[in-house]
Amino acid sequence: MANLTDAILPRPSNRTGNDRNIIQKAAILLAVLLAVAAIFAPLLTPFDSLEQSLLSRLRPPLGFERHAPGHLLGTDELGRDVLSRALYGLRLTLALAFAGAVLGLLLGGLLGLVAGLRRGWVEDLVMALVDMQIAIPFTLVALLVLAVMGSSLTVLVLVLGIAGWEQYARIVRGEVRRIAAQPFLEAARTAGSGPLYTACYHVLPNLISPLVVQFTLALSNIVILESTLSFLGLGVQPPQPSLGSMVGLGRDYMPTAPWIVLTPALLILLLTFTVQILGDWLRDHTDVRLRDR
Amino acid sequence: MFRLMLTTTLAMLPLAAGAQEITVGAANVTPFLDPGRDHSNVGSQFYYNSFDTLINRDHSKLESKWVPALATSWELIEPTVMELTLREDVIFHNGDPMTADDVVFSLNRMFQATFPPYVVRAKDRLGNFTEAEKVDDYTVRIHAAREEPLWETLISLQQIMIIPEVYTKALTGDPELAEDGDYEAFALAPMGTGPYRVADLQPGEKLVWERFNGFWGEIAPLERATVVQIAETASRVTALKTGEVDIITNVAPDQISLIERDPNLKTEGTATALFHVMIMNQNHPKLQDPRIRQAMSLAIDRDALNEALWLGKAVVPSTHTMEEMGALHQPELTTFEYDPERAKALLEEAGYDGFEITYDTAATYYTNGLLAAQAITEMWSAVGINGRVNVQDQWSGDDPEMMARNWSNPMYFSDPFGSFGVMWAPEGPSESEGRFNTDAEYAEKWERFRFSTDIDARKAAYAELMEEMKADPVVLPLYRPFESWAMKRSVNWAPMPGHIPYVLDFRAGSISLADS
């Protein structure tokens, strides 16, 4: 009888909470590991990511026949160390995604702030741009821009930055409008605080937590976008490795040398997964509305 | 049991009938078919099945052995005039008989070209011919400006395969006149006298050949052959494995072992009569000092590229020569070498300050092109050259900013003139694109090489041209790539040594299908 009650009654809420905590803790640990690996890639990698060894091409990872000593995860189609390239690729992919996300944050945040504070036609214009951005499939736009402008790291960062700005703009505008209606802002204005002062000292601090959450969520999307563009040959140019270009250039070797593709593909998966979990965790801990649930 | 046998037999019937059809998965299908204006590696696959030349060669042999085709006999009646007697039972795919008028029309559209795409081809290889003249319905004469050492070689070129006069002129506009529009239309509705007629051409996608029962020679072995474009290597291999196609083209050496592991499949390959080359821009402001370009060339270990990328199956030349050139084959010349120490010394002498040198390549056009580009810039960095691979799909050979890039130099006909000569003649395509300069001295050597009737004089002049290339290099032949085709075991086909590169020869004696 007791068992039946157990089954019917909802489990104590802290149980599911613990499960989630474990996943989150594992993810955070993984995220830290990936970040350390990316930052210290030059110290960690056994080989230069560009160093070729033409006579030991396409060698399999440790433990397989024909393994070339030293190349833990095997070598690629030019005899470069897959592990070293993957770590450098991770580093470049993360750096690009980070730069892109920061750019998107600045651009979207600024436009959202202006729209929220100024209202009127400025707001209409910004929100029309936001709607346009949402309506157009961005990968297509990115492909077009890179095809016309040619690919360089600068253009790539710009494209990645433009990829997610509209989300920030919407969040910031919404928050600004909500905050503007709060009594404390009314009080500040009455006390003689100017528009710039109000924006910087009263509105911005209240925006930080939703922006951090959005930033993390956007980061994984940008990682995917960068990988897609590089996979298609329009992003990072060879011989420079990025996770996406390693998958793209290695796909002809899938049947004979799958490790060239699997290593970066696995890293993309881990990266987006952990960043996503991290975003959820940040939201749980910073969003006031969720705090007591 | 009887019923089972019956159904099995019945099931096999359509197979036996269908066995005379094949499908080819090609990396590229041509955007048009006109043998006159085309000299691309893509186009050369397709002409031999549908068109004939006046004189043909025995393609099973490496050396040139001339055999009658649309002309049954030929002789020089003067040093600059050749008279040819035409075969009398030849009809075009639409049933019209072929006469001297068609031959004169086909030849003069090139010899006296006005249509710009013909002008280019006429100039780079047919420049010595002034006109073709009809003597009677089955006799023609070809006139040359100067004594021609390569008569049969040039008369057997793809560019002067025979096309129908009446049909072509009637394609657009005035049916009595040959207008540019007629030639444009012909390229999409091609017609010749060969053993297969083009039943369907979807530019860049698909080509269908059907057996032409009115062919003058031995009838075609296949009822129908379809070529479909499958650009990605991996997709081509998959299409072959699933049985969607019977033959695939352009198999990279790295894929050979994968295909050979399948008991139903095999590969056929050859070191194609074509060089993958690196070209360098003589007129780029930073590369005007020949010592820099010499160093770029000396730094490249072509044998290592061959071992690594081509499993040692490509052929690395010591000079711009091929064994197909017969008496003019000069492997004893050493024009291109690997010498990293000398490269370093030359860079130092030239005062190279570490500026960036770009190497352009398309992502997929040449087999192993992108891999070779990356390996080459790495070899450059070993001698101190700061190289960068620049991946772009558009042709940069005419861009003054181009520093170095890959290209291919096919052997369009078996003579040094047909390989090095077409690309590096005075006023030729390289000079007209602004990345190569010739002077009076070069032109004089060129004239002796091109027109001397004595073979030794031609060889000596060619050796002098190679010395010019060594002293002030603009090209480095990397290797003859090992190109492979993969197919079902039931298909008996292999590239033949007497063809120009990439020809898909499906004529009688060249292909057969095992009844299985």
SS (H, E, C) chain A: CHHHHHHHCCCCHHHHHHHHHHHHHHHHHHHHHHHHHHHCHHHHCCCCCCCCCHHHCCCCCCCCCCCCCCCCCCECCCCCEHHHHHHHHHHHHHHHHHHHHHHHHHHHHHHHHHHHHHCHHHHHHHHHHHHHHHHCCHHHHHHHHHHHHCCCHHHHHHHHHHHCHHHHHHHHHHHHHHHHCCHHHHHHHHCCCCHHHHHHHHHHHHHHHHHHHHHHHHHHHHHHHHHHHHHCCCCCCCCCCCHHHHHHHHHHHCCCCCHHHHHHHHHHHHHHHHHHHHHHHHHHHHCHHHHCC
Characterize the bridge pairing of strands B224-229 and B21-26. Answer: parallel
Together in a domain, B457 and B382: yes
Together in a domain, B341 and B460: yes
Which CATH fold topology does A24-51+73-287 show?
MetI-like fold (1.10.3720)
Chain A residues in contact with B304 (beta carbon < 8 A): 54-55
Together in a domain, B233 and B206: yes
CA of B230 vs chain A CAs: smallest distance (Å): 14
Domain contains B183: no
Domain contains B318: yes
C-alpha–C-alpha distance, residues B467 and B26, integer Å? 39
Q: Dig out the tokens for A224 from the structure.
A: 């995917």
Domain contains B185: no
Domain of residue B353: give its range: 274-479
Q: Cβ contact (<8 Å) for B375 and A77?
A: no
Q: Find how far residue B189's CA is from the centre of its chain.
A: 22
Chain B residues in contact with A79 (beta carbon < 8 A): 308
Together in a domain, B86 and B117: yes
Domain contains B226: yes
Together in a domain, B446 and B301: yes
Residue A288: per-residue pLDDT: 54
Q: What is the pLDDT along chain B (516 residues), one digit of tens a residue?
A: 444 444 444 444 444 444 599 999 999 999 999 999 999 999 999 999 999 999 999 999 999 999 999 999 999 999 999 999 999 999 999 999 999 999 999 999 999 999 999 998 888 899 999 999 999 999 999 999 999 999 999 999 999 999 999 999 999 999 999 999 999 999 999 999 999 999 999 999 999 999 999 999 999 999 999 999 998 888 899 999 999 999 999 998 988 988 999 999 999 999 999 999 999 999 999 999 999 999 999 999 999 999 999 999 999 999 999 999 999 999 999 999 999 999 999 999 999 999 999 999 998 788 899 999 999 999 999 999 999 999 888 899 999 999 999 999 999 999 999 999 999 999 889 999 999 999 999 999 999 999 999 999 999 999 999 999 999 999 999 999 999 999 999 999 999 999 999 999 999 999 999 864
C-alpha–C-alpha distance, residues B93 and B87, integer Å? 16
Together in a domain, B468 and B496: no
**Quick one: closest CA in B to A77, which residue?**
B371
Together in a domain, B315 and B420: yes
In a mutational test of the B interface, the residue from A66, A78, A153 whose CB has the highest number of chain B CBs within 10 Å is: A78
C-alpha–C-alpha distance, residues B239 and B236, integer Å? 5
Q: Which of residues 13-72 of B touch A (CB under 8 A)?
A: none
Residues of A with CB under 8 A from a CB of B: 50-52, 54-55, 57-58, 77-79, 150, 233, 237-239, 249, 251-256
Among the partner-chain residues B237, B371, B389, the one whose CB lies closest to the CB of A77 is B371
What are the backbone dihedrals phi and psi of residue A112, each rounded to the nearest 5 degrees, phi first?
A: -65, -40
Chain A residues in contact with B392 (beta carbon < 8 A): 150
| A162 φ/ψ sector (left φ>0, alpha ψ -120 to 50, else beta) | alpha
Domain contains B175: no
∠B73-B79-B82 over CA atoms, to 5°? 25
CA of B372 vs chain A CAs: smallest distance (Å): 9
**Domain with B378 in it: what CATH number?**
3.10.105.10
Together in a domain, B204 and B289: no
Q: Cβ contact (<8 Å) for A233 and B255?
A: no
Q: Cβ contact (<8 Å) for B374 and A256?
A: no
Q: Note whether A176 and A116 are within 8 A (CB).
A: yes
Does B304 contact chain A (CB < 8 Å)? yes
In a mutational test of the A interface, the residue from B241, B378, B379, B393 whose CB has the highest number of chain A CBs within 10 Å is: B378
What are the backbone dihedrals phi and psi of residue A35, each rounded to the nearest 5 degrees, phi first?
A: -65, -45
All residue ranges of chain A with pLDDT < 70 are 1-17, 287-293
CA of A245 vs chain B CAs: smallest distance (Å): 12
Domain contains B7: no
Kind and range of the H or E run holding B152 = helix B151-155
In a mutational test of the A interface, the residue from B374, B390, B401 whose CB has the highest number of chain A CBs within 10 Å is: B374
Q: Dig out the tokens for A196 from the structure.
A: 């710039």
**Domain with B64 in it: what CATH number?**
3.90.76.10
Rg over alpha carbons for chain A, rounded to the nearest Å, is 24
- Tally of domains within chain B: 3
Domain contains B55: yes
Together in a domain, B418 and B438: yes
Together in a domain, B262 and B288: no
> Cα dist. B76→A120, B79, B206, B457 in Å?
91, 6, 42, 22
Residue B98: per-residue pLDDT: 97
Residue A290: per-residue pLDDT: 52
Among the partner-chain residues A77, A239, A255, the one whose CB lies closest to the CB of B389 is A239
Domain contains B505: yes
